[in-house]
Copies of this chain bind each other. A is one copy, B any other.
């Protein structure tokens, strides 16, 4: 370790030369893009962004934990990490403005910074956001990306607004990212459409803003951990119990195709993370009239998957009304049969 510490510039800054070469490369493909809310972009000590209210989040992606470099290209790694981070803005019904990317690059991957940043920039651009800056360092370990997102927030939409009696809804279909990973882990290749669900997830901020404008969002979260886990976050923050009606889950066809059984498909939809769809609490009856216009606008399903009740925790309810705690349910659904 000592040898890796560069004694020349205080031992700890990387000093002129190497780091700056990396930083130059880091921004070479990401010239400042004008944005009406961005007063100072990349290249200074800070970016400066106009409010009045900004939503902020950061999302770590660690090689070997969140991604594998033999599964994704560098550009896909940057794109996926940025989409995952932007999804936190969707979960707060905030409109993306900008992203910062902090990259720790292994020795052999120093040349990856441009490709990573191409992915970061593309994901940001698709969301209407610009690159605000970032940081870069070498590392003796795996590649690490931390993507910071900044969005314009109205009155904040948080996790804690669900009340007993509210309905639980989700956007899209669930389990495709988990299905892609299951194939990759078996050494099989997902087809292009399925691969994209894993490599280039689409954060749902436009959908969140649309729903917000129509006043139905009482509590909102994005599905990064899987519906059972994320419904649990809504329930815990709101002081209520979430009941998931298993029969109504919009299981993605790819999950059904890849799964070895119907139970396994449900498990992928419930526990498979990183679909980056939205889950929200809404007053009874408020969302049903929006299903059709929402689908016309976004070509995406809105599905009622359960409800909130007095109590705590997450409960899985089958078609007969039988109920199990989601933790136990996981074991049940998840156990290889």
Contact = CB atoms under 8 A, between A and B. Distances in A.
A60 interface: yes
Contact of A56 (B5, B12, B46): B46
A212 B96 CA distance: 31
A271 to B, nearest CB: 6
A9 B295 CA distance: 28
Contact of A60 (B89, B91, B104, B151): B104
Contact of A45 (B57, B104, B134): B57
Do most interface residues of chain A lie in helix, strand or loop, or is the interface mixed? Answer: mixed
A16 to B, nearest CB: 5
B146 A139 contact: no
Contacts of A66: 12-13, 137
A2 B185 contact: yes
Contacts of A274: 10, 12-13
Contact of A58 (B48, B88, B135, B330): B135
A91 B45 contact: yes
Given A16-B229, A62-B138, A66-B137, 18 more contacts: A4-B64, A5-B68, A5-B185, A8-B334, A9-B272, A10-B178, A10-B272, A11-B184, A15-B229, A16-B225, A16-B330, A44-B159, A46-B151, A51-B52, A51-B54, A52-B52, A59-B102, A62-B104
